[in-house]
Structure 1
Amino acid sequence: MIVSIARASRAFLLISTLLLLLVLPSAAQKDNNNNYLDSSKNWSLHYQFTTIVQGHTGFQGAGYSGRNTLSDLPDTTLSVTTTLFIGRKLWNGGSLFLNPEIAGGRGVGRRDPTDPYNETLYNPAVGIAGFPNGETFRIGSSKPGLYVARLYVEQVFALPDAQPENIDSEANKVNQQRPDSRVVITAGKFSIADIFDNNAFSHDPRTQFMNWSLMSYGAWDYPANTRGYTWGLAVEYVRPAYELRVAYNLMPKTANGNVLDWNIAQSGGLTVELESRYRLLKRPGTVRFLAFRNVTKAPTYTDAIQKLVDGDNDPQRPYISNGERYGGVKYGFGLSLEQPLAQNSGLFARASWNDGKTATWAFTEIDQSVSAGAFIAGSRWGRPEDAVGVAGVINGLSTTHAAFLNAGGIGFMLGDGKLPNYRPEHILEVFYKARVTRTLFITGDYQFVANPGYNGDRGPVNLFGIRTHVEF
């Protein structure tokens, strides 16, 4: 697999070089007065490379298992992502962004007990709803794949009383002045988590907490394909004291599928968020309220249970993951809080809920989630670019979702064959991130998961990880 990753990385660098060769000539055009018609400041070029080696020790099994049971044998995995962030200022307020990306490797999961070292029998990224590695996806193959993660246009309109503010060049941001009161329209392919629930201390698994239920609302079944991206339209109304945003995005055709459903009349995800700022202890804080409503082919858990009882469920094409007709509705809410304590340090908390009646279709199998934690920069001990983080999460299921799993149902991440002893998942994550060089960060991470997959007969699980992150 390492050889495959190396080959894919070389291909990625070749593509990146070709893009740069196309970019730089246009950036160097001059008029007859030797002034730059199109200076390089209109471009934004950034890069990231992240690897996570993660594993768990052996733990107490339940005596029964299913297709999505986390193996109780010790396991070690590797994930790799590398991304090129290309941004181009088009005109006043308009920008274009392109992110080619390579991802490979896998997360911890299920090994066949009869042949635990046969990789072809491995089922990756299953068994824990609050999955411990936010850089892994539910892709069956561990081979690296090259794809376009983002390709979108952003247009900013200044409101009448707007004041300019400077924006530095960074990933998917071009160095320019931006009005503090504005309307922003984003159209194309992007991650909806780029725009919504943008918590400053718990949002990015490449630099902050790695657990899925800490990088976003656990119960938000947000529109995305398997890798976390989707096509859509988002509109933001931004004022210095508050922000309002709304988006409509494509949902996958099947549960956690990579193919998006373009039948926008019958399938799609509507998301609304209100963000407000306040002052506490002489420091500005932020509170966000999110609501969502998804319409897909997702069936209800009640119908899926009946299919199991009747024996009318094709294991090769499970009803719970494919559905039969449009009209499945899932809705929910989220509340997020962030309170800075010092520069680059602060506290955060989230609570989220969905109705739990309709099958999870995009993110992960969580119907209720509460989390809280702290992110502390290393200024106090003379290393301002270092950081330590500690957070706790409690994830839960609806009554019908738990009943489906207990009836032998298999979702896209959970399924132990039965669930006679349902218990909420309890997760603790602690990490230390150290800046080694100007562009290199290394993180040591520990996660403790009690009741993995909501199974009180299984676990607890101790997971250890080393994350390497390069950005420039």
Structure 2
Amino acid sequence: MRLATVFLLLTGALALTTAAFADDAPLFIPQWLGAQYTFVAQHQGTVHSPYAGPLSLRKQGDTARSHTFGAYFGVALPAHLAFYVDVEMFRGEGVSGATGLGGLTNGDVIRAGVAGLGRGAYVARRYLQWSLPLGDGRETVERSQDHLPGTQATQRLDVKLGKMAVNDDFDRNRYANGTRTQFMNWDLFNTTSWDFAADTRGYTEGLMLAWVNPAWTLRYGIYRMPYEANGQRLENSLRHARGEQWQLSLHPHPDGWVLRLLAFRNHARMGSYRDAIAQALATGQVPDVHADDRPGRRKYGWAINGELPLADNGDTGLFARMGWNDGRNESFVFTEVDRTVSGGFQLSGAHWGRSADHIGVGFALDALSRPHREYLALGGTGFVLGDGALNYAHEEIAELYYSWAPVAHLTLSPDFQWVRHPGYNRDRGPAEFAGVRAHVEF
């Protein structure tokens, strides 16, 4: 924990010296927008495992810890421009090496990257944003990560260019969006069938355009894809490889329901499950979809994402997601899920006198396309799945957490997850995961 102590001392000192004037900082003066530290300790229980492959959950169980650190900066520029830079660091690992599941259980392990990538600080985001007002309506923006304090037009055009995370702008949800304070399972903070462009740490370079209105928002993004599945190296040319997404968000009332409709299409150097299977059957070998990688292949899909506030000024509410991709070519970026349905609710602690606390309950069901499941049944591996064989069944997930805020800026969250048919395999599991999360944010 020594790294965490040093980090908190440094960011605390920075907060004391900048917070007094940050909201009134003049133009061109960089502002410290926030910092965070998150610690996760998670234990996986023993798993029924008559056989196992290189990417299976560990039969004997496992315990792992992860640490993430982040510091976030921004500067206002002339002509409605702003520039943001975020620096992060990851230490630790996920249980069973963060493999063996479609819906992995610790969202922060995305930041680990591949083996040998290093555990030092890195630039997570580095982008220029331009916001052009289109009307007279204004709304207040509080100082937070990647948001300079002040006001912004309620009707505007937004443009972002540079290094960023695609899910900063797409597939957001009030009740199921932040793995550091809400649900930790990957299925419950994003639509897992949405194979969005990113390197192994979850970031990429690209362009995002948004037409924002009080009742609806239309977004488009185009980003660099990785050169290989779960790879850190990004493709150089958008002509040859790119990830594109379109999203229409309907939000007719400021504090009411929201519905997001997303479609995506990836062009990348992907392998085909069918071709890999055909090659394996012809040669008598185990199929290898990575060896079948060819430029110009495509994957497309869609997602529906909704939230419904019920009470407590929106602090209590319901959420749901549904997603699908064609599943013909290999899972390339996020995780190995081709169809998914998830939902749940958040309950405010105001009902027992602790308005800063929350309870969250979520459920998810994941499925694979037929070519994907046949590939795994023949002993093929992806980048998170590979039991050596497969007796297929849907992967079913439940998660329960309690977010307790004993003091300002600190939340402590016990978390429990249960997974039936881990890795889509009826022969394995169920698996249980118990954890605790500590999150400090300034």
Q: Same fold (TM over 0.5)?
A: yes
Matched residue of 2:277: which SS?
A: helix
Map of 2:57 onto structure 1: 70
Pairing partner for 1:104 from 87, 91, 99: 91
> Percent same amino acid at aligned positions?
35
Residue type at the aligned position of 1:286: V
Residue type at the aligned position of 1:127: G
Map of 2:125 onto structure 1: 150
Residue type at the aligned position of 1:131: L
Give a deviation string over 1:74-131, Cα, whole Å, max 9, x none: 211001100001111112421111111001211111xxxxxxxxxxxxxx11001100
Pairing partner for 1:304 from 276, 280, 286: 276
User: Alpha carbons of 1:69 and 1:335: their partners in 2 closer, same or farther (altered >3 Å)?
Assistant: same
Aligned pairs for 1:400-439 within 5 A:
400-419=371-390, 421-439=391-409
Q: Is the 8 A contact 1:321 1:412 kept in 2?
A: no
Map of 1:132 onto structure 2: 105
Structure 1 Cα separation of the partners of residues 115 and 76 of structure 2: 38
TM-score (norm 2): 0.92
Map of 1:336 onto structure 2: 305
Map of 2:35 onto structure 1: 47
Please give the root-mean-square deviation of Cα atoms over the aligned residues, in Å: 2.7
Pairing partner for 1:446 from 413, 416, 421: 416
Residue type at the aligned position of 2:316: S
Q: Is the 8 A contact 1:285 1:340 kept in 2?
A: yes
Residue type at the aligned position of 2:207: L
Map of 1:326 onto structure 2: 295
Q: Is the 8 A contact 1:44 1:174 kept in 2?
A: no
Shift of 1:376: 1.4
Shift of 1:305: 1.3
Runs of 4+ aligned residues of structure 1 deviating over 3 Å after TM superposition are 6-14, 16-20, 35-40, 310-313, 321-324
Structure 2 Cα separation of the partners of residues 373 and 7 of structure 1: 35
Matched residue of 2:230: which SS?
A: coil
Structure 2 Cα separation of the partners of residues 84 and 323 of structure 1: 40
Map of 1:466 onto structure 2: 436
Q: Is the 8 A contact 1:375 1:388 kept in 2?
A: yes
User: Alpha carbons of 1:384 and 1:431: their partners in 2 closer, same or farther (altered >3 Å)?
Assistant: same
Structure 1 Cα separation of the partners of residues 258 and 363 of structure 2: 20
User: Alpha carbons of 1:18 and 1:328: their partners in 2 closer, same or farther (altered >3 Å)?
Assistant: farther
Give a deviation string over 1:45-94, Cα, whole Å, max 9, x none: 20000011011111211x22111111121211001100001111112421
Map of 1:112 onto structure 2: none
Pairing partner for 1:399 from 370, 377, 390: 370
Structure 1 Cα separation of the partners of residues 198 and 425 of structure 2: 27
Pairing partner for 1:363 from 334, 340, 347: 334
Residue type at the aligned position of 1:264: L
Shift of 1:324: 3.8
Q: Is 1:228–2:202 an aligned residue pair?
A: yes
Structure 1 Cα separation of the partners of residues 163 and 9 of structure 2: 22
Shift of 1:11: 8.2
User: More displaced, 181-190 or 144-153?
Assistant: 144-153
User: Alpha carbons of 1:13 and 1:322: their partners in 2 closer, same or farther (altered >3 Å)?
Assistant: farther
Aligned pairs for 1:179-194 within 5 A:
179-194=153-168
Q: Is the 8 A contact 1:44 1:169 kept in 2?
A: no
Shift of 1:19: 9.6
User: Alpha carbons of 1:227 and 1:174: their partners in 2 closer, same or farther (altered >3 Å)?
Assistant: same
Residue type at the aligned position of 1:168: E
TM-score (norm 1): 0.87
Q: Is 1:81–2:68 an aligned residue pair?
A: yes
Matched residue of 2:373: which SS?
A: helix
Shift of 1:38: 4.5
Aligned pairs for 1:135-284 within 5 A:
135-137=108-110, 139-140=114-115, 144-159=119-134, 161-278=135-252, 284=256
Q: Is the 8 A contact 1:88 1:95 kept in 2?
A: yes
User: More displaced, 349-358 or 165-174?
Assistant: 165-174
**For this pair of structures, how many residues does the alignment match?**
435
Pairing partner for 1:290 from 262, 275, 299: 262
Where does structure 1 lack aligned partners over 5 or more consecutive residues? 29-34, 110-123
Shift of 1:192: 0.6
User: Alpha carbons of 1:461 and 1:427: their partners in 2 closer, same or farther (altered >3 Å)?
Assistant: same
Map of 1:118 onto structure 2: none
Structure 1 Cα separation of the partners of residues 333 and 25 of structure 2: 46
Structure 1 Cα separation of the partners of residues 393 and 264 of structure 2: 26
Map of 2:319 onto structure 1: 348
Matched residue of 1:405: which SS?
A: helix
Matched residue of 1:385: which SS?
A: coil
Structure 2 Cα separation of the partners of residues 467 and 66 of structure 1: 30
Structure 1 Cα separation of the partners of residues 99 and 297 of structure 2: 24
